[in-house]
């Protein structure tokens, strides 16, 4: 009986399958078509629309303005420049306050408390100079710019302006095999690459989304701007005549950022034509109506979803990294610290790329955040060059108040103009920070694409630094 039943149902299924051959190739289309037909018939019968002609006309006027041939791009650049200016100008004061509180007040207080409690020196070092300091540093330099940049960006998004930017930029990205919305994720990346990677969710085509994620790291993020500005001021500005110094170094930093955009387009192009050729692609871009932004909701979501979310991931990675940073400078084997061992060993290799062992080590151990690369470089330079009277001791990251003092430390560490140029290039073209790498893994759910996004920029960066250095030496 049971068997008979199975047999019957199998026959019915196979008959159904055979009948589908007679229906032809366009079955799916026909089904969708009839669904739409039914839906619109029902809608015609039951829905009446008043329609706000005036509002629609105003919207059309705005659309024609922001997508016009001559004004479209200038308006876009102006808006972006405004957002960046507000971020940089607005973040300075709160960043200074946070640094004064967390680094200059709480840190010494913790140290004296530890001393009073009789904590052994190594425990005090690992916990306070290592873990706490790294975390405090990340919070002080990351929080204010993100807390300004993300809400501003979300406001523009909410207003409906950002989809128009994607609409205007699409033809450029189409030629690179990418989606116009990548212009948005790229701009977001200028704030924070991890946030840029998350923002790639707006791209619904799988291939274009992967491209946007992998190339987001080529946007010079907030954590790297200060490094670029510092090094450009010291080495590039320093090499130019005094009255041109400011302009030349500013030009160099902008040049690096533009180079990053160039790389993001070039790598998108190459990826979409090689490894990502086969990934599915479906372009679609909706242009929602303009609407007044919901300020409070925007503030809340951008602070919670973006700022706190990214900051939390950064802190989680910064704490163990702080411990490692302290340990490499303080664990000694045969009279030398681990850091010195590595730096001696890596120096000859790093010099081929116009960098040095300190930079290599700093980029490895300061992986949680680009913000702590320069403090780590300074600390390691002091340790390896045996400078005295600078900094706060082995394993304690520090920054110097004056640019001149920073320059002295770096020059004592053997830095030249060539090192400066290569550091700027390598700062643009190296692996994403651990927060971003983790975010890429979370977003793509693929180890393969995470590894590609991590190692592709390093290989590219090392290759570029190598050729720049060797050509420089050849012509020098």
Q: Is 9 in the site for another protein (CB under 8 A)?
A: no
Q: For residues 332 and 344, which CB has a smaller minimum distance to another protein in the complex?
A: 344
Q: Is 292 in the site for another protein (CB under 8 A)?
A: no
In whole angstroms, what is the distance from residue 372 CA to residue 374 CA?
6
Give the one residue of 4, 26, 46, 445 binding another protein; rule: CB under 8 A.
Answer: 26
Give the one residue of 60, 201, 332, 344 binding another protein; rule: CB under 8 A.
Answer: 60
Q: For residues 205 and 298, which CB has a smaller minimum distance to another protein in the complex?
A: 205
Q: Are 369 and 432 in contact (CB under 8 A)?
A: no
Residue in 455, 259, 473, 234 with CA at minimum distance from that of residue 354: 473
Give the one residue of 9, 82, 348, 442 binding another protein; rule: CB under 8 A.
Answer: 348
Q: Is 282 in the site for another protein (CB under 8 A)?
A: yes
In whole angstroms, what is the distance from residue 262 CA to residue 252 CA?
15
**Contact partners, residue 240, CB within 8 Å, separation at least 6:** 248, 249
Give the one residue of 254, 287, 405, 417 binding another protein; rule: CB under 8 A.
Answer: 287
In whole angstroms, what is the distance from residue 389 CA to residue 223 CA?
28
Q: List the end-to-end C-alpha distance of the chain, in Å, as a whole number.
A: 92
Q: Is 95 in the site for another protein (CB under 8 A)?
A: no
H/E stretch holding 114: helix 107-117
CB environment 236-265: b (16+ within 10 A), e (fewer): bbbeeeeeebeebbeebbeebbebbbebbb
Identify residues 139-168 at the interface with another protein (CB under 8 A): 167-168
Give the one residue of 6, 8, 12, 32 binding another protein; rule: CB under 8 A.
Answer: 32
Q: Is 12 in the site for another protein (CB under 8 A)?
A: no
Q: For residues 281 and 301, which CB has a smaller minimum distance to another protein in the complex?
A: 281
Among the listed ranges 11-19, 243-251, 326-334, 369-377, the one in contact with another protein (CB under 8 A) is 11-19
Identify residues 65-94 at the interface with another protein (CB under 8 A): 67-69, 72-73
Compute the least distance from the CB of residue 457 to another protein, in Å: 16
Give the one residue of 6, 7, 12, 33 binding another protein; rule: CB under 8 A.
Answer: 33
Give bridge partners of residue 337 from the DSSP assignment.
332
Q: For residues 28 and 243, which CB has a smaller minimum distance to another protein in the complex?
A: 28
Identify residues 254-273 at the interface with another protein (CB under 8 A): none
- Number of residues engaging another protein in binding (CB under 8 A): 62
Q: For residues 109 and 473, which CB has a smaller minimum distance to another protein in the complex?
A: 473
Q: Are 308 and 198 in contact (CB under 8 A)?
A: no
Q: Is 451 in the site for another protein (CB under 8 A)?
A: no
Distances 75 to 80, 83, 93, 113, 165 between C-alpha atoms, Å:
9, 12, 28, 54, 10
Q: For residues 286 and 401, which CB has a smaller minimum distance to another protein in the complex?
A: 286
Q: Is 209 in the site for another protein (CB under 8 A)?
A: no
Instruction: Name the DSSP class of 288.
Output: P
Q: Is 46 in the site for another protein (CB under 8 A)?
A: no
Q: For residues 74 and 246, which CB has a smaller minimum distance to another protein in the complex?
A: 74
Q: For residues 64 and 336, which CB has a smaller minimum distance to another protein in the complex?
A: 64
Q: Is 54 in the site for another protein (CB under 8 A)?
A: no
CB environment 431-469: b (16+ within 10 A), e (fewer): bbbbbbbbbbbebbeeeebbebbbebbeebbbebbeebb
In whole angstroms, what is the distance from residue 359 CA to residue 470 CA?
18
Beta-sheet pairing, 336-337 with 332-333: antiparallel
H/E stretch holding 336: strand 336-337
Give the one residue of 277, 294, 332, 344 binding another protein; rule: CB under 8 A.
Answer: 277
Instruction: Name the DSSP class of 432.
Output: P
Q: Is 414 in the site for another protein (CB under 8 A)?
A: no
Q: For residues 220 and 267, which CB has a smaller minimum distance to another protein in the complex?
A: 267
Q: Is 417 in the site for another protein (CB under 8 A)?
A: no
In whole angstroms, what is the distance from residue 456 CA to residue 323 CA?
28
Q: Is 120 helix (H, G, I), strand (E, B) or coil?
A: coil
Residue in 290, 387, 317 with CA at minimum distance from that of residue 135: 317
Give the one residue of 4, 48, 171, 388 binding another protein; rule: CB under 8 A.
Answer: 171
Q: For residues 23 and 242, which CB has a smaller minimum distance to another protein in the complex?
A: 23
Which residues make up the interface to another protein (CB under 8 A)? Answer: 14, 17-18, 20-26, 28-29, 32-33, 36-37, 60, 63-64, 67-69, 72-73, 167-172, 174, 180, 204-205, 207, 274-275, 277-289, 348-349, 351-352, 463, 466-467, 469-471, 473-474
């Amino acid at each position: 009986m049971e068997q008979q039943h199975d047999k019957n149902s199998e026959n019915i299924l196979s008959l159904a399958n055979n009948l589908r051959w007679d229906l032809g190739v366009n079955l799916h289309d026909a089904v969708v078509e009839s669904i739409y037909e039914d839906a619109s018939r029902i809608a015609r019968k039951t829905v009446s629309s008043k329609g706000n002609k005036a509002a629609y006309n105003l919207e059309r006027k705005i659309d024609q303005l922001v997508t016009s041939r001559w004004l479209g791009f200038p308006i876009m650049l102006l808006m972006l420049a405004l957002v960046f200016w507000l971020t940089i100008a607005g973040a300075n004061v709160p960043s200074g306050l946070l640094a004064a509180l967390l680094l200059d007040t709480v840190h010494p207080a913790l140290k004296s408390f530890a001393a009073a409690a009789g904590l052994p020196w190594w425990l005090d070092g690992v916990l306070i100079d290592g873990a706490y300091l790294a975390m405090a540093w990340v919070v002080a330099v990351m929080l204010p710019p993100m807390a300004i940049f993300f809400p501003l960006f979300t406001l523009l998004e909410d207003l409906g302006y950002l989809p128009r930017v994607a609409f205007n930029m699409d033809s450029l990205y189409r030629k690179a095999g990418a989606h116009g919305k990548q212009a948005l994720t790229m701009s977001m990346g200028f704030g924070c690459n991890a946030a840029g990677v998350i923002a790639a969710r707006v791209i619904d085509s799988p291939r274009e989304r992967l491209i946007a994620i992998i190339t987001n790291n080529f946007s010079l993020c907030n954590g790297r701007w200060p490094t670029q500005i510092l090094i450009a001021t010291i080495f590039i500005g320093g090499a130019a005549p005094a009255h041109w110094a400011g302009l030349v170094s500013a030009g160099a930093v902008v040049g690096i950022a533009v180079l990053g955009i160039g790389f993001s387009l070039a790598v998108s192009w190459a990826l979409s034509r090689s490894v990502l050729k086969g990934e599915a692609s479906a372009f679609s871009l909706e242009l929602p109506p303009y609407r007044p932004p919901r300020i409070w909701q925007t503030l809340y979501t951008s602070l919670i979803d973006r700022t706190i979310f990214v900051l939390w991931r950064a802190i989680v990675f910064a704490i163990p990294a702080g411990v490692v940073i302290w340990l490499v400078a303080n664990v000694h084997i045969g009279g030398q610290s681990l850091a010195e061992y590595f730096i001696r060993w890596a120096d000859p290799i790093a010099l081929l790329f116009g960098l040095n062992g300190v930079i290599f080590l700093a980029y490895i151990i300061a992986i949680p955040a680009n913000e702590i690369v320069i403090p780590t470089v300074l600390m390691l330079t002091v340790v390896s060059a045996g400078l005295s009277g600078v900094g706060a001791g082995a394993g304690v990251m520090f920054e110097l108040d004056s640019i001149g003092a920073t320059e002295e430390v770096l020059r004592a560490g053997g830095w030249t103009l060539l090192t400066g140029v290569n550091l700027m290039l390598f700062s643009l073209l190296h692996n994403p920070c651990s927060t971003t790498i983790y975010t890429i893994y979370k977003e793509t759910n693929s180890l393969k694409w995470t590894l590609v996004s991590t190692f592709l920029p390093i290989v590219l960066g090392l290759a570029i630094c190598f050729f720049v250095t060797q050509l420089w030496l050849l012509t020098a």
